[in-house]
């Protein structure tokens, strides 16, 4: 069993890489999906969120009022950090439990932790190696504005809010350059999968 941490800034192509790895038979642990699960009704993070933020952020059926809480924390940086810490803790716990389960069942394949905030959340030590997907800022702006219809200024604001690429590169064992076409990207992935398979 080998564990890869996969990350990349907005519009880098991380989701494209993750889908390709899934097609190649890797088991994907999607942190965005897991974090949504962690805030669904009955999930372990909810009680902590209620204790921290109060019942006013819950609807009458016990589900989280995502809009109200979102409006509150996005206007309050320190509270946003508190919320993210609560959710991140539960996401990491879920990932560690899944990995232990797969180990117990002698899973022999490759697990990919698909995490936009892999380094920011301190998840880099879970994986055997960490992969960063990169592309030039201009390419990322072009792709995201085409995909989401956002202005380049809006995308730049989000990019500038993320950890700088140079820092992420220093923390990565493998950098996938997604500046050109998909064939080129998939070739780099195939080469790295081959390398990992040869290490067994
Ligand atoms: P985000 O974090 O913003 O969700 P992401 O890093 O997951 O983005 P993707 O969604 O994989 O990035 O890619 C962004 C857009 O660019 C998508 O529309 C995708 O189809 C396209 N794209 C990715 N790689 C390439 C490529 N090499 N050539 C052309 N288009 C690409």
CB 165 within 8 A of CB 134: yes
* 135, 143, 180: residue to mutate for ligand 1 pocket, most atoms within 8 A of CB: 143
Residue listed under structure tokens 């933020």: 53
pLDDT at position 199 = 84
- What spacing in Å lies between the alpha carbon of 10 and ligand 1's midpoint? 8
∠ CA 146-73-163, nearest 5°, is 55
Mean pLDDT over each residue of the chain, to the nearest integer = 95
pLDDT of residue 200: 64
What are the φ and ψ backbone dihedral angles of 76, each rounded to 5 degrees?
-150, 90
Using DSSP's 3-state secondary structure scheme, residue 42 falls into: coil
Task: Determine the distance separating the centroid of ligand 1 and the alpha carbon of 65, expressed in angstroms.
Answer: 30
Spatial distance between the Cα atoms of 109 and 173, rounded to a whole number of angstroms: 19
**Using 50, 70 and 90 to split pLDDT, how confident is the model at 161?**
confident
List, for residues 102-156, the tens digit of each pLDDT value. 999 999 999 999 999 999 999 999 999 999 999 999 999 999 999 999 999 999 9
CA neighbor of 160 nearest in space, from 141, 146, 180: 141
For 23-42, how does the pLDDT look when each residue is reduced to its tens digit (9 = 90+)?
999 999 999 999 999 999 88
> What span, in angstroms and rounded, lies between the C-alpha atoms of 158 and 142?
14
Give residue ranges with CB within 6 A of ligand 1.
Answer: 8, 10-16, 116, 143-144, 147, 178, 181-182, 185
Token pair 């902590």 in the structure block, residue: 48
Q: Looking at the predicted structure, is the pLDDT value of residue 181 above 70?
A: yes
Residues comprising the chain, all counted: 200
Measure 127 CA to ligand 1 centroid, in angstroms. Answer: 23
Residue with tokens 């117990």: 104
**pTM over cut 0.85:** yes
């Amino acid at each position: 069993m080998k564990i890869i941490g996969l990350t990349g800034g907005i519009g880098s192509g991380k989701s494209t890489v993750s889908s390709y790895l899934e097609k190649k038979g890797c088991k994907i642990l999607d942190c965005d999906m897991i974090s949504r699960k962690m805030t669904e009704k009955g999930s372990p993070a909810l009680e902590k969120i209620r204790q921290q933020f109060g019942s006013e952020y819950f609807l009458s059926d016990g589900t989280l009022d995502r809009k109200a809480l979102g409006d509150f924390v996005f206007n309050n940086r320190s509270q946003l950090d508190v919320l993210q810490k609560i959710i991140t803790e539960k996401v990491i716990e879920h990932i560690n439990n899944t990995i232990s389960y797969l180990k117990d069942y002698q899973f022999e394949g490759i697990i990919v932790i698909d995490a936009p905030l892999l380094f920011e959340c301190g998840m880099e030590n879970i994986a055997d190696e960490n992969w960063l997907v990169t592309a030039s800022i201009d390419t990322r702006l072009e792709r995201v504005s085409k995909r989401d219809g956002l202005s380049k200024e809006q995308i730049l604001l989000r990019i500038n809010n993320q950890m700088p690429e140079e820092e992420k590169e220093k923390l990565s064992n493998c950098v996938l350059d997604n500046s050109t076409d998909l064939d080129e990207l998939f070739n780099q992935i195939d080469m790295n999968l081959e390398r990992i398979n040869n290490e067994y």
